[in-house]
Amino acid sequence: MTATEARVYTPGEFKEFDAAGETFLYLVPAGAIFQLDETSRLVLDLVKQGMPHDQLVAALTEKGYSIGDAEEIVHELHMSRAIISADTKPEPVAEPPADFPLMTLVLNLTNQCNLSCQYCYEFGEDKVATPEGKPKFMDYETAKQSIDYLLASSGERETVHVTFFGGETLMNFPLLKQVVTYANETAAAQGRSIDFSLTTNATLLTPQIVEFLSENKIGVTVSMDGPPELHDKLRVFANGKGSYDIIAPRVRALIANHKTRPITCRVTLTNGVTDVVRIYRHLKDELGFHEIGFAPVTTSPDRLYAINEPGMHGVLKQFHILADEWLEYALRGEMHGFSNVSDTMAELYQGVNKSHPCGAGLGLVGVGPSGDIAPCHRFVDSDTHVLGHISTGMDKEKQQDFLGRGHINTKYDCHTCFARPLCAGGCHHEAYVRYGDTGHPNLHYCDWIREWTETCLKIYGTVSAKNPAFLEQFAERKAL
Amino acid sequence: MKHMRPLNRKAKRIDQFVASLDEDVVALQNPGARPHVPMGCALSFSPGWEVDSGGGTAGLCQPVERDIYDCYVTCFWPAQVPDHLNNYPDWASKCAVATKDWRKLDLVYP
């Protein structure tokens, strides 16, 4: 018997799913999605218990396939690793190159905020920031150095991104304006361009600011938690008064007058603020946001505002309602505003297979008012997580330590999970707050992530089968 | 691939990879032109000698009798088989299937 005839096939690592009456495979180590036909389904069925090549070909010829066709299908499935054999070498996720070019810089223009949202990771009980004795507002010199650092560290990229963040970003609007001017000039001199965005609580928006944002094509994300009775639970001023009435008219004016970019909303779900569908309807239909994304609060499970397990179950149930709606829209060729699906579709379209959960410390860094470089905006002003200073650049050793711990290869719990190409263990900051280690996989939401990933795979499969052209628009959407 | 339809970018790359395993290597030729395959067993890339493109050995010259036609018909190789072109055109006429009828091939005596 030859080596090939004796080769025993077993199923490769994949997630099989059905949608729209078809069967699909999500090949996990690659992040690839395939639609199966009757023949490939048959082969996968046959190799479930392990089967040698010659028996497999014989079984297929018995079903009426010619030897040539049988050999061909086995070859296809073997080479694409839908089925594997003992000599299939696993390919571990590679290390990113040491000189990975920077893509996004998050500038925390200030660490001050005019709201006192009780769940804020920056000032809440679980904060990682240690801002004592550090500047509260970034100065122009630090901001300029940061832009220079971004352009110098971004390799050949033609367009790079700057995200303005806080504290409350607009408490340092004068600096924001200066930075936009400086960054545009400096980038243009190099024949490159910079794309801007900011996150704000919307309390300080004025017609002049909105005009500036629109003119400069600055993308805006508003942090807002829904209708007044939900929003005002935790998004309050220092005196405890809710902020809804202040921001609602400003948000309406922003959406009406900022015409150059879609305006998105970012909702933090907390205990008692879990009515996702109602929140979505309010923000989408009554206020007019283009897209709305939801995330549960990052916190220790002991906090009163943490969402417990039954609470998360309820959230997921409501996510499904919006996901079904997203699919109906997609089949009609319309884009629904539920970002949680759209973002995952973009990642599935690319077939991402992440070495790290996000670009933090790799293609993205945060810079605080003091000029300290942090893995991302959530770690800004934390002495424990500082990766360097804008005047001296990145401390490569610290960066390697951070990236080494966050790499999927070190997260053993993830190695049998089909959702790892997209999740890669989840947010570094969430992991630090929960487990005290940025490299710890976020095991508290595994089931939730898996269920959500499967939901999105089914949506992807259904759209592929019924309206494939719709997926093309995700080619340009940012993934990862 | 015939039996797995690629649906995302990564799947398309795998599809191209699998297709590339079966393609001829065509260097310095106009797109669309077929490679020139000379006759003769040493130059034509017909399977039969060592391993297939995937490193396997199934479906090659097994049993070895199959090789007879590679030498006798497609590639005259006087050291091993009779000369099909001029002197012994009927040498294999009784041997319809080499794997079964190889015993009907006899020696020739010039």
pLDDT, tens digit, 9 for 90 and up, residues B60-87: 555 555 556 656 665 545 446 777 777 8
Report chain A residues whose CB lies below 8 A from the CB of B19. none
Report chain B residues whose CB lies below 8 A from the CB of A27. 10-11, 14
pTM: 0.83
* Mean pLDDT of the region A300-329: 92
Host H or E run for residue A287? none
Q: Do the Cβ atoms of B18 and A348 come within 8 Å? A: no
**Other CB atoms within 10 A of residue A445 CB:** 17
For residue A468, the chain B residue with the least C-alpha distance is B7
Cβ-defined contacts of A343-346 (< 8 Å, 24+): A343/A293, A343/A477, A343/A479, A344/A422, A344/A452, A344/A453, A344/A456, A345/A456, A345/A459, A345/A460, A345/A463, A345/A471, A345/A474, A345/A477, A346/A474, A346/A477, A346/A478, A346/A479
Contacts with B55 (C-beta within 8 Å, 6 or more apart), sequence order: none
Q: What is the pLDDT of residue B63?
A: 52
Helix and strand element counts for chain A (H, E): 16, 16
Q: Could you give the strand order of the β-sheet that contains B4-6, starting from the edge strand earlier in sequence?
A: A14-19, A22-27, A32-36, B4-6
Active site residue B67: yes
The more confident residue out of B33 and A150 is: A150
Q: What is the pLDDT of residue A419?
A: 97
Amino acid identity at A19: A
Res. A359: pLDDT tops 80: yes
* Mean pLDDT of the region A107-117: 94
**Other CB atoms within 10 A of residue B55 CB:** 10
Please state, in angstroms and rounded to a whole number, the distance separating the CA atoms of residues A390 and A108: 13
Quick one: pLDDT band at residue A99, thresholds 50, 70, 90? confident
Quick one: pLDDT band at residue B43, thresholds 50, 70, 90? very low
Q: What is the pLDDT of residue B27?
A: 52
Contact residues, chain A to chain B, C-beta under 8 Å: 2-5, 7, 24-25, 27, 30-37, 39-40, 43, 53-54, 67, 71-73, 75-80, 82, 348-351, 353, 460-461, 464, 468
CATH architecture for the domain at A104-323+364-394: Alpha-Beta Barrel (3.20)
For residue A26, the chain B residue with the least C-alpha distance is B11
Question: pLDDT tens across A199-216, in order?
Answer: 999 999 999 999 999 999
Range from A22-26, B60-64, B106-110 that averages highest in pLDDT: A22-26
Picking from B3, B8, B56, the nearest residue to A3 by CB comes out as B56
Quick one: pLDDT band at residue A126, thresholds 50, 70, 90? confident
Please state, in angstroms and rounded to a whole number, the distance separating the CA atoms of residues A71 and A437: 49
Residue A406 and residue A439 in contact, taking contact as beta carbons nearer than 8 Å: yes
How close does chain A come to B89, measured CA to CA in Å? 30
Res. A430: pLDDT tops 80: yes
DSSP string, A95-122: PPPTTPPP-EEEEE-BS--S---TT-TT
Dihedral of the CA atoms A412, A413, A419, A425 (nearest 10)?
-80
> Would you state the structure tokens that stand for residue A384, as one six-digit string?
């424990």
Res. B8: pLDDT tops 90: yes
Q: Do the Cβ atoms of B58 and A75 come within 8 Å? A: no
Amino acid identity at B41: C
Res. A92: pLDDT tops 60: yes
Quick one: pLDDT band at residue B37, thresholds 50, 70, 90? very low
Res. A240: pLDDT tops 50: yes
Percent of chain A exceeding pLDDT 90 equals 87
A32-36 and A22-27 beta bridge pairing: antiparallel
Q: Do the Cβ atoms of A39 and B3 come within 8 Å? A: yes
Host H or E run for residue B109? none
For residue A472, the chain B residue with the least C-alpha distance is B8
